[in-house]
């Protein structure tokens, strides 16, 4: 038996099983960790041989935690994707069954994670993403001969059911929240209501004062779900004037939304405390201001495709599936304007 490295970089152990003259290979993937695992397997085979035990191709059981670590070390992921995966795995997956060998995992384990995320109120997109991470890791293990099968190969992302519109925030709730909000959150609410951007590090908290384009009457927004890296978002003249005044009164300001002169990461704590002060007990998120923005456009008769582009959706179908009920009401209201002449006259 001996350890070798294939020309494609994979480490393997060549050996003969007991009772066989054919040379077998057991692969362990690429990188330093794969080499260590191959040495460990070779040492185990040597130990079996010395003790007179039969030699088989069984490798040390690889846990999902170990496989995930090797996946993250080997894959050329973007820093954002890597951080997202690490956060999701550490919080929702590894504490549950990261210690189990990959060979023992089934679709039931993936369903367990999904049920937990659902109880926490996580959106369908988040639940799909976490499960897709698990499937990708297991598939990489299979492709690199680290697992005999992908236990999550049957997973397919779920789609939103048409007609299930979001529970929209009311104008009364908006007024109560705004009245109870500190100054920096008041401004954030205004930005959200005028732009409808996603309230996160990629869009809302990444907006810079230099992104404001007065010549084109809008602001440049990063769009992570469309082909264009940035798109111009038209703004109302009154809000553009506010941004201009903000730039004049605070010339050193870098970001549109700041707190104590620094970029904001999130506003979850401020938002929750404001809801308590406002006396609102039902679950509302800063993201619901994005839903309010979209519903206001569609209820006012805005074109579906234009609304989809303003929201930064990859396709109008996404807008349609989320705001189906609003569009149904819009279509019925449009029918009220239809006038049918009396063809029997004359």
Residue 228 pLDDT greater than 70, yes or no: no
Q: What pLDDT digit, counting tens, does each position of 97-118 carry?
A: 998 989 889 999 999 999 999 8
* Across 4-13, 16-25, 94-103, 195-204, least confident range: 16-25
Q: What is the pLDDT of residue 227?
A: 57
Q: What is the pLDDT of residue 235?
A: 96
For range 310-332, the mean pLDDT:
77
For range 19-46, the mean pLDDT:
78
State the Cα–Cα distance between residues 135 and 141, nearest whole angstrom: 10
Query: pLDDT-derived band of residue 162, with 50, 70 and 90 as boundaries?
Result: very low
State the Cα–Cα distance between residues 282 and 166, nearest whole angstrom: 14
Show Cβ contacts of residue 116 under 8 Å, excluding neighbours closer than 6 positions: 92, 96
DSSP calls for 15-74: EE-TT--SEEEEEEEESHHHHHHHHHHHHHHHHHHHTTPPP--PPPPPBHHHHHHHHHHH
Q: What is the pLDDT of residue 206?
A: 93
Q: What is the pLDDT of residue 42?
A: 83
How far apart, in Å, do the first and last CA atoms of the chain sit? 101
Residue 61 pLDDT greater than 90, yes or no: no
Show Cβ contacts of residue 70 under 8 Å, excluding neighbours closer than 6 positions: 29, 31, 33, 34, 146
State the Cα–Cα distance between residues 163 and 142, nearest whole angstrom: 39
As a whole-number percent, the residues of the chain with pLDDT over 70 amount to 90
Residue 164 pLDDT greater than 60, yes or no: no
Q: 60 vs 28, which has greater pLDDT?
A: 28
State the Cα–Cα distance between residues 180 and 185, nearest whole angstrom: 10
Query: pLDDT-derived band of residue 327, with 50, 70 and 90 as boundaries?
Result: low
For range 311-339, the mean pLDDT:
75
Q: 342 vs 133, which has greater pLDDT?
A: 133
Q: 55 vs 321, which has greater pLDDT?
A: 321
Q: Look at residues 284, 265, 287, 266 and name the one whose alpha carbon lies nearest to residue 274.
A: 284
Decide if 280 contacts 174 (C-beta within 8 A). Answer: no
Decide if 133 contacts 87 (C-beta within 8 A). Answer: no
H helices present in the chain, as ranges: 32-50, 64-74, 79-88, 94-97, 107-119, 124-143, 171-180, 183-195, 237-249, 268-278, 288-299, 304-311, 316-322, 324-335
Query: pLDDT-derived band of residue 198, with 50, 70 and 90 as boundaries?
Result: very high
Q: What is the pLDDT of residue 212?
A: 96
Q: What is the pLDDT of residue 345?
A: 65
Q: What is the pLDDT of residue 161?
A: 54
Query: pLDDT-derived band of residue 14, with 50, 70 and 90 as boundaries?
Result: confident
Residue 266 pLDDT greater than 70, yes or no: yes
Residue 202 pLDDT greater than 80, yes or no: yes
Q: What is the pLDDT of residue 123?
A: 80
Structure tokens of 183?
């100054």
pTM above 0.75, yes or no: no
Query: pLDDT-derived band of residue 139, with 50, 70 and 90 as boundaries?
Result: very high
Query: pLDDT-derived band of residue 57, with 50, 70 and 90 as boundaries?
Result: low
DSSP-assigned beta bridge partners for residue 30: 10
Show Cβ contacts of residue 255 under 8 Å, excluding neighbours closer than 6 positions: 205, 206, 207, 208, 209, 263, 264
Residue 260 pLDDT greater than 50, yes or no: yes
């Amino acid at each position: 038996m001996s350890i070798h490295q294939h020309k494609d970089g994979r480490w393997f152990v060549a050996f003969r099983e007991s009772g066989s003259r054919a040379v077998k290979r057991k692969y362990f993937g690429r990188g330093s960790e794969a080499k260590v695992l191959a040495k460990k397997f070779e040492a185990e085979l040597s130990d079996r041989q010395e003790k007179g035990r039969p030699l088989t191709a069984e490798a040390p059981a690889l846990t999902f935690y170990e496989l995930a670590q090797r996946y993250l070390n080997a894959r050329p992921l973007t820093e954002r994707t890597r951080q997202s995966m690490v956060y999701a795995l550490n919080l929702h997956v590894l504490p549950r069954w990261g210690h189990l060998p990959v060979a023992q995992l089934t679709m039931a384990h993936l369903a367990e994670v999904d049920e937990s995320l659902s109880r926490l109120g996580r959106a369908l997109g988040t639940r799909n993403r976490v499960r897709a991470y698990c499937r990708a890791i297991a598939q990489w293990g299979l492709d690199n001969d680290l697992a005999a099968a992908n236990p999550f190969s049957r997973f397919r992302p779920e789609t939103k059911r048409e007609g299930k519109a979001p529970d929209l925030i009311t104008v009364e709730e908006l007024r109560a929240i705004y009245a109870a909000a500190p100054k920096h959150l008041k401004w954030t609410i205004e930005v959200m209501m005028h732009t409808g951007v996603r309230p996160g590090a990629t869009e809302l908290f990444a907006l810079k004062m230099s992104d404001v384009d007065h010549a084109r009457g809008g602001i440049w927004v990063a769009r992570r779900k469309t082909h264009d890296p940035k798109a111009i978002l038209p703004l109302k003249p009154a809000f553009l004037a506010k941004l201009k005044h903000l730039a004049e009164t605070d010339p050193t300001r870098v970001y549109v939304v700041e707190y104590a002169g620094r970029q904001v990461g999130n506003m979850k704590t401020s938002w929750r405390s404001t809801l308590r002060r406002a006396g609102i007990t039902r679950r509302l998120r800063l993201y619901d201001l994005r839903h309010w923005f979209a519903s206001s456009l569609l209820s006012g008769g805005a074109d579906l495709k234009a609304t989809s582009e303003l929201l930064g959706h990859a396709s109008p179908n996404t807008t349609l599936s989320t705001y189906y009920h609003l569009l149904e009401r819009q279509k019925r209201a449009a029918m009220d304007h239809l006038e049918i002449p009396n063809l029997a006259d004359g």
